[in-house]
Each structure stands twice: as C-alpha cells, then as structure tokens.
Chain A
Amino acid sequence: MDIFVQQLVNGLTLGAVYAVVALGYTMVYGIIQLINFAHGEVVMIGAMVAFTVIRRLADAGLPPVLVVLIGTACAVPVCMAVGYAMERLAYRPLRRAPRLAPLITAIGVSIVLQHLAMLIWSRNVLAFPQIIPAVSFTIAGASVTGVQIAILGVCFAMMAALALLVYRTRLGRAMRATAQNPQVAALMGVDVNRVIATTFVIGAALAAVAGVLYGTYYGVVQYTFGSLLGLKAFAAAVLGGIGNIPGAMLGGLLLGIVEALGAGYIGDFSDLCSYGLGPAERCADGGHFVLFGSNYQDVFAFLVLILVLVFRPSGILGERVGDRA
C-alpha cells in the first residue's frame, strides 16, 4: 500500500511540474489559438540560466534556498525576453495568417532555440549543484522530500497568482476580452498587441519557474529536455481543458499521476503469466510474460491526448477559447 502512496507522491510532483508548464501553454492558446511549440524550449532556457547562476553561487556560502531564488530571479527576465522576442518577431506578423503558418513557425522557433541553447551550454548533461540539503519525511509510508513539497507549493501558488491576475485585475480582464474577440476588445480600447505580448511574457516567466523546479528536482538538465516535457504539458493542458487555468492545473496533476501509476503498475497488469494465459515455458518457475512494461511510459501522455481529443475534445473542465474570425 505504501508503494501506491509513494507512486502517488511521485506522480503528483511530476504532475506539478507539468502543470506549471501547462499554464503557459493554456494562456497562449486561450488568447491566440496558437500551440506554442517553443514553450518547452523556454522552460529549458530557464533551467539552463538558473543552472549557470546557481553553479556560480554554489560555493558562495549563501543559504541554499536563497541561491535557488537568485537563480530563479535571473532566469525569469531572460525567459521573459525570449518570450517577448518570439511573439514580436515570429508570431505577431502571422496573426491573421491561416493556422498552418504560425504552427510551422513555432516548430522552427523551437528548433532554433534548442540549438542556440546547445551552442551556449554544450550538449552535455549538466548536473544541477546539489546544494539543497535532502530532508525527507515519511507520510503514510511514503518518503516525501522537502523539494517535492516545495514544488507542489510553488505550483499551487503559481496557479493562484495567475488566477488572481486573470480574474481580478484590469490586465486580466483585457486578456479575457482579447481571448473572446480581439476586434471588439480593440474597439473597447484594449491595446491588443500589448495584451498578447504580456500574455507571452507571463507564460515565459512561468516557464522559467518550471525550469528551475525541474532542475532542482531531478538534478540534471540537458538541452533536449524541453521538447518532450513541452509536449506532455500540452497534453495535460488539453486534458484539463485548453484555455482553462484550473484545467491546466488539474490536467497536469492528473497526467503526472497517470504516468507514475502507469509506469509502476502496467507491467504487473499486463503480465499474462499472472492470469495464467502466458506460454508455458515462459511462465514456468515464476517467470513473466509482460506485454507492456514501463518502457511505454512516454506513450501515456500521447495516448491520453488522443483519447481526450477523440472522446472529449473540450477537456475535463471545458475549454475556454474564443472564436477566431
């Protein structure tokens, strides 16, 4: 039983990282119906910048949490700049173009960012300095580290802050208006270009935070980790309902749990020997005939995406996208 709880904890933490990234996706899609393929790369850049800063400060004798915060504080502006540049240079000129165009552009931007990062930080796997002391607690038989609790906390805080922004401020109202109908919003006096740019920038800031969380949690970063993470986070956003902020959160956490539990249990569930169905020579002597092992872990995200899109395209909590003229 405690294994199950442990898997849940693992899944929740993984899901929290997905959720923070998904928030960025969902915001951008909600406002201009663009899947920002390059979002995952922005997460990666955030992690890399934080890595550089933290590595420099690792021996400075400052309290570890402060070092991480400084790293984040450096990563966020860099990512915001990248986000703004992306929007301004690559997406804004294509705002009225058919959907195919910005999608292809996004792929191009993603490739460019990835390889620029590779040039700057090299191809190697980089080890995040292990400065945060490992404290672990045992909750219901599962070991939970301090970092995991921090990640969950940060995730909820981010969601709360974003929800506050979108539903309680003028900027948020402008964002919602632009999402619903850009032309009318413009007529109402909203500076649509600025609002969209701000959305990108906020999404990029969230991406930076997600990157730091990732680096601190797993301890390793490489220039390639952004793309798969981004895809999975997008699946999470769709699962929860694209354009929907609590949806992104829910989708992220759910996807994390599905992946963790799936990887943990699918091997056992698809072991034909345990059902007495497997071939005799393989099952003899406590042997196993596993159809789908943990190797299919990555497939879950894609499967979830396909299933959601086929059976409930608006996601669990319903999507919130405007009509694109």
Chain B
Amino acid sequence: MTNARLALTLLAASIALIGCGEDKKPEAKQAPVAQEKKAPPPPQTIEIKIGHVAPLTGGNAHLGKDNENGARLALEEANAAKVTIEGKQANFVLVPEDDQEDPKVGTTVAQKLVDAKVAGVVGHLNSGTSIPASPIYSQAGIPVISGSATNPKLTEQGFKTQFRVVGRDDQQGPAIASYLAEQKKPKLVAVVDDASAYGEGIANEVEKTLKAANVKVLPREKGTNKTVDWKAILTKLKGRNPDAVFYGGMTSTAGPMLKQGRELGVKAVFLFGDGACEGEMAKLAGEAAEGFLCSQAGIPPMASDKKFLDSFKKKFGEDPKQYSPFTYDAANLLIEAMKKANSADPVKYLPELAKINFKGATGQIAFDDKGDRKDAEITISVMKGGKLEPVAVVKAGKTIAFDDFVKGAGAAPAVAPAAEPAKAEEKKDEPKK
C-alpha cells in the first residue's frame, strides 16, 4: 500500500504542477481583438489576428509552408496598404499553427485559435483536419476559409462559417470524367482508387459521371495509399482491355502503377486526379509517363495573376508550390469582407463574406449558399516530354481549351503553357497520422 500511496501523491503533485505550470504559460491570453494604442502619434491602430492552419511538420510540410506564405503575403500587403477598419488603421497579424495532418491535433489547434480570439482563419490544408475542426469554429462564430481542402463533406455540414476557395472533389471528378468521355470516347473504363478519403471520393465521382455518360465501367479495384505492387490488379484489367484507366490516388502510388501498367502491356490511357498531377510522375514512371492526363482543382499556379506571382517570388524567393494563390485569396477575402463591414467582428463581417464578389489571384470568387466557390475551375493537363501541359479548363460544366481560357481570362500567365506544378508528396485530405 505504501507504494500506491507514494504513487498517488506523486501523481497528484505532478498534476498540480502541470496545472500550475500551465497557468504560467498561457497559450494565448484574452488578447482583445481591438486594442487601442493610447500613443500620441495618430493614427490609432487595431490589431486583427488571422489564424492559419496547415501541417508544418510531416510529409506535407512544404505544402503547409507554401499555404502559410500565401496568407502571409496577403496580410503584409494589406498592412502596407494601410487599410482602415472601424476608423482605425488595421494591423493584421498572422497566427500560424501546425496541425500535423492529424485530426486530433487539428481540433486542438482550432480550439487554440478560438481561445486566442482570432478574427478569422485561413485553413486547414487537409480535409481530414478541416472537417472535425469546423464545428469548433462554427460554435465560436469564427469564419474559416480553406484554400485546399477538397472533400465535399466539409461544406455539407451546414456550418455558416465554413467556406472554401478551391474546387471540390465532386467537381473535379466529373470534370475529368466528362473530358475523358467527350475527347477520347472510350467504350470501357477501369476505375481504381487507393482507399483513402481523397482517392475513393474522386474515383466515385468519376465513375458516377462516366455511367451517366453511358460509358461502361469495370468493377472498382482498390489498393492502399502504400501499394507499390499493382501487377495483380493491372493484369486483371489487362484481361478486360479497357480504353482508359482512372486512378484516384497520390503520386507515390500512381507512379509505380503507370510504370507497371506499361511493363505489362496495358494499352489504355491513364488518367489521374490532382493527387498525381505533378512532374514527379515522370521520375517515378520514366517513359511510361508519356501521355497521361490529369486534373487539378483551380488553375495552375503559373496561370494565376502575374502581380501575385511576382510579389510572391520577390518575398519568398521561390514560386508558389500549389495552393498558395488560394490561401492568398482566402486571406484577402477575409480582409475585404472586414473592409466592407467596417468591422473585424465576425458577427458583423460574416454576412459580407457570404455575399462577397471579389477578383483574386485565382480569378473571380463568389460563394454559393454552402460556402463553396461558385464555378470553380478545373484544369486538365497532359504529360508531354516529361512536363505537364494544360490542355483544357472546365468551368461551370463547360470545357474550354486552355489557350482560349488564357486569352479569355485576360491575366496573362507568367510562363508559357508548359506549367509544371511543383512537388507535392501527399495532399490535402489524406488524414495522415
């Protein structure tokens, strides 16, 4: 019993210590959002905190940092432009948090931001953390805009505070499927996915669209997000001789699939979602990569507004990797809504945000009643000679050839159509531990 008593006292002491310790290191005290500086030199400033959540460690840390950079650039430009809110000069402060792509951590940092009384949040990067975090933001009434979470469920939950500026998987899937059906007119298509939330989601959409277009679809084949040996499945498909194979998954599994497919003599055209739409595929699949098609939510980074691209490059010394134009727009949307409502109080500027119409680096942005972006664009690209070239943009159900789109959009792309979206190992809604 002595042992137990000692242990009990130790336990109590340690808990007390932790408790007291935490009092001394406050996560973020009740920092008022509006702070009046009684400083002699006018103008008076108001500090507005905007949170940003993305994985800053782990497999997608480079994408997380990219997202953060986009938001940061927006806030800095707003500060330089001396925006006035509530009659005071706004000082926008970015509060970056790392959710490690883990839903448990995602809810914890969401709570942290709520405790810190941020005025709005840009994030998260992954759907897998955005979804469980959204009720927390909703309860606190804090608007949150994601620049990269594509799982449809995010905005189906009915939270008025949840928005996104990037297209959904159930827009991307139909986009590439209808492109396939119209352009290649296949008789039989095989659909494979990696049994992840993203892969299965987009594969389901592709299958639905193809069936609606009266294309025959083989029974679904599945791997995992770590499958490297696709030969069994590919051999089975080869026996059915499909004209096209769509795979919902990431580069790390798509590359081997492509390579092994060609080795086995599968003659179909391969299509992928944005999870495998990057130059790295050429490295993993070698010559087999030639000619595959893939889709991406939004427009290629290189086709976004030139001014944004230049400022980004100047400030961070590198090109935007993937979704930073979207987080840039998301941050600017928050700021714009605050300007319109002339208040940083979420209660006041949320209605403005819901009905906003804004030209961002990724084009014209407006939200529908679910919080999704109206008429989000999807780009279809083809791999030619080791580089990805955009061939078409699908917007509001219509497929436009890429060159026409570029001419129509007005904002000239910084680089000629050979856009190569940079490396992305794993993307948004792969809830990874």
The answer to whether A and B come from one shared complex is yes
Q: Quick check: A123 and B231 within 8 Å, CB to CB?
A: no
**A7 touching B259, Cβ below 8 Å:** no
Kindly name the residue among B216, B219, B264, B283 whose own CB sees the greatest number of chain A CB atoms within 10 A. Answer: B219
Is the pair B226, A225 in contact by a Cβ cutoff of 8 Å? yes
Binds A, one of B248-256, B360-368, B376-384: B248-256
Q: Is B369 an interface residue (CB 8 A)?
A: no
Residue of B nearest to A227 (CB): B226
A11 and B232 alpha carbons, distance in the complex (Å): 8
- Determine which of B229, B232, B284 lies in contact with A125 in the assembled complex, contact meaning CB atoms within 8 Å: B284
The listed residue (B226, B227, B286) touching A224 by CB distance below 8 A is B226
Determine if B223 and A219 form an interchain contact, defined as CB atoms under 8 angstroms apart. Answer: no
Query: Whose C-beta in chain B lies nearest to the C-beta of A259?
Result: B232
Contact between A123 and B238, CB atoms less than 8 A apart: no
Query: Chain B: how many interface residues by the 8 Å CB criterion?
Result: 34
Contact of B235 among A3, A228, A295 (CB under 8 A): A3
Per-residue contact bits, chain B 260-276, to A (CB 8 Å; 1 contact, 0 not): 00011100000000000
Q: Mark A109-149, 1 if CB is under 8 A from B, else 0.
A: 00000000000000111010010001010000001010000
B216 lies within 8 A of A222 (CB): no
How far is B229's CA from A264's CA once the two chains are assembled, in angstroms?
12
In the assembled complex, B357 has its CB within 8 A of some CB on chain A: no
Binds B, one of A200-208, A238-246, A286-294: A286-294
Cβ–Cβ contact B255 & A267, under 8 A: no
Give the docked Cα–Cα distance between A14 and B280 (Å): 25
Determine the chain A residues whose CB is within 8 A of the CB of B222 once the complex forms: 293-295
Contact B231 A225 (CB under 8 A): no
Asked if A10 is at the interface (CB within 8 A of a chain B CB), the reply is: yes
* Bound: A59/B276 CA distance, A: 27
Residues of A within 8 A of B264 (CB): 6, 143
Counting CB contacts under 8 A, is B195 at the interface? yes
State how many angstroms separate the Cβ of B276 from the closest Cβ of chain A.
12
CB contact list, A272-288 vs B, under 8 A: 286, 288
Residue B58 interfacial (CB < 8 Å)? yes
Residues of B within 8 A of A213 (CB): none
Q: How far is the CA of A25 from the CA of B286 in the complex (A)?
A: 34
Question: Contacts A125-B425, A267-B221, A293-B221; is A10 near B256 (CB within 8 Å)?
Answer: no
Say yes or no: is A191 at the interface (Cβ < 8 Å to chain B): no
In the assembled complex, the CB of B162 is this many whole angstroms from the nearest CB of chain A, namely 30
The listed residue with most A CB atoms (<10 A of its CB), out of B222, B232, B233, B256, is B232
B35 contacts the other chain (Cβ, under 8 Å)?
no
* Contacts A3-B239, A123-B425; A264 near B255 (Cβ below 8 A): no
The answer to whether B255 and A127 touch across the interface, beta carbons within 8 angstroms, is: yes
Chain A residues in 8 Å Cβ range of B286: 130, 219
Q: Find out whether the CB atom of B195 lies under 8 angstroms from the CB atom of A295.
A: yes
Q: Is B228 an interface residue (CB 8 A)?
A: yes
What's the minimum C-beta distance from B199 to chain A, rounded to whole angstroms? 11
Near A by CB (< 8 A), chain B positions 208-245 give 216, 219-224, 226-229, 231-233, 235-236, 238-239
Q: Give per-residue flags for A1-37: 1 if the beta carbon is below 8 A from chain B beta carbons, else 0.
A: 0010011001100100000000000000000000000
Q: Is the CB of A298 within 8 A of B232?
A: no
User: Is A264 touching B232 in the complex (CB atoms < 8 A)?
Assistant: yes
Specify the chain B residue showing the minimal Cβ separation from A218: B228
Out of B226, B227, B238, which one reaches A3, CB within 8 Å? B238
196-240 of chain A: CB within 8 A of chain B: 218-220, 222, 224-225, 228
Q: Determine if B291 is an interface residue (Cβ-Cβ < 8 Å).
A: no
CB-defined contacts of A262 to chain B, threshold 8 Å: 232
CA distance A222 to B265 in the complex (A): 26
State whether A286 and B233 are in contact (beta carbons under 8 Å apart), knowing that A219-B256, A228-B226 are contacts in the complex: no
CA–CA, A290 and B23, complex, Å: 56
Q: Is the CB of A10 within 8 A of B263?
A: no
* B-chain residues with CB within 8 Å of residue A260 when the two chains form the complex: 231-232
CB under 8 Å from chain A, chain B span 278-315:
280, 283-284, 286
Q: Is A254 an interface residue (CB 8 A)?
A: no
Q: Does B135 contact A (CB under 8 A)?
A: no
Determine the residue in chain A with the shortest Cβ distance to B58: A123
**25 contacts across the A-B interface (CB closer than 8 A):** A7-B236, A123-B58, A123-B425, A125-B252, A125-B284, A127-B255, A127-B284, A143-B263, A143-B264, A219-B255, A219-B259, A220-B256, A222-B252, A260-B232, A263-B232, A265-B236, A267-B219, A267-B236, A286-B216, A290-B219, A293-B221, A294-B221, A294-B223, A294-B233, A297-B232
Top 5 closest pairs, chain A to chain B, by CB: A295-B222, A263-B232, A125-B252, A10-B231, A3-B239
